[in-house]
Structures are given as C-alpha cells and as structure tokens.
Amino acid sequence: IQMTQSPSSLSASVGERVTITCRASQDISYSLAWYQQKPGQAPNLLIFGASNLQTGVPSRFSGTASGTDFTLTISSLHPEDFATYYCLQAHSFPLTFGGGTKVEIK
C-alpha cells in the first residue's frame, strides 16, 4: 500500500492553522497513524486509528478520514510544533510510511 503525503514541506507562522494530507493507494479503513519527529529525536506518536489522540498530545492536533484520504490538522501552530510529520498505514503488512511533511517557520 502506497501512502502519498502532501505537501512535502510548508512554511507557516505561529498561530496559523496547518493541514497535512495522506492518501492511501487502497482502502485502509481507519488504520492510520500520525507521527511527529523533531531534529535529532526519535518520532513520537500523535494520532492512531485516524482520529484518536495519543495520551499526552495537545488537543490542537486532530485527525480526520474520508475514504482513502487522511488529514492531520494543527489548529494553531505553536513554536514547538515545527517538525516533520509522517503518516503510517497500519492496515496490512508491510506497513508503509508517507514521505513526510516538514513544517518550517515562516
């Protein structure tokens, strides 16, 4: 299953609303996770099951699903949110990540 993530990068300001999209090449139901990775650090699970917030993740992060399209939204960008974000399909093996979206400061 191929995961097409867009955009590959974006520039945004603190306080802006940011949306990142992943499209699956076939039906994966709601078996999708979102990860955040900051430079020099291991990734961190943000959302699982397409829309469920992992414990400890701020509520400004949210996930939605529509068919094979999945969206990660950051409602109001905080300084600590500048990072690279990845989607992952967890529906079937081999598991596959999207290419990543780097969120940079405008």
Partner 1 sequence: EVQLLESGGDLVQPGGSLRLSCAGSGFMFSSSDMGWVRQAPGKGLEWVSGVSAGGGAKYYADSVKGRFTISRDNSKNTLYLQINGLRADDTAVYYCVKTSRDSYGYMQSWGQGTLVTVSS
- Whose structure tokens read 């940079």? 104
33 contacts partner 1 (rule: CB under 8 A): yes
103 contacts partner 1 (rule: CB under 8 A): no
Could you count the other beta carbons within 10 Å of the beta carbon of residue 3?
21
Residue from 45, 53, 57, 83 in contact with partner 1 (CB under 8 A): 45
User: What are 74's two structure tokens?
Assistant: 């950051």
Contacts of 30 (CB under 8 A, 6+ apart): 49, 50, 51, 65
61 contacts partner 1 (rule: CB under 8 A): no
Q: In the complex, what is the shortest distance from the CB of residue 67 to partner 1, in angstroms, rounded to a whole number?
A: 19
- Whose structure tokens read 């990540």? 97
Q: Phi, psi (5° rounding) for residue 105?
A: -80, 130
Residue from 2, 29, 58, 95 in contact with partner 1 (CB under 8 A): 95
Q: Residues 71-90: x/- map of binding to partner 1 (CB under 8 A)?
A: ---------------x-xxx
Q: Which residues bind partner 1 (CB under 8 A)?
A: 31-33, 35, 37, 42-45, 48-49, 54, 86, 88-91, 93-100
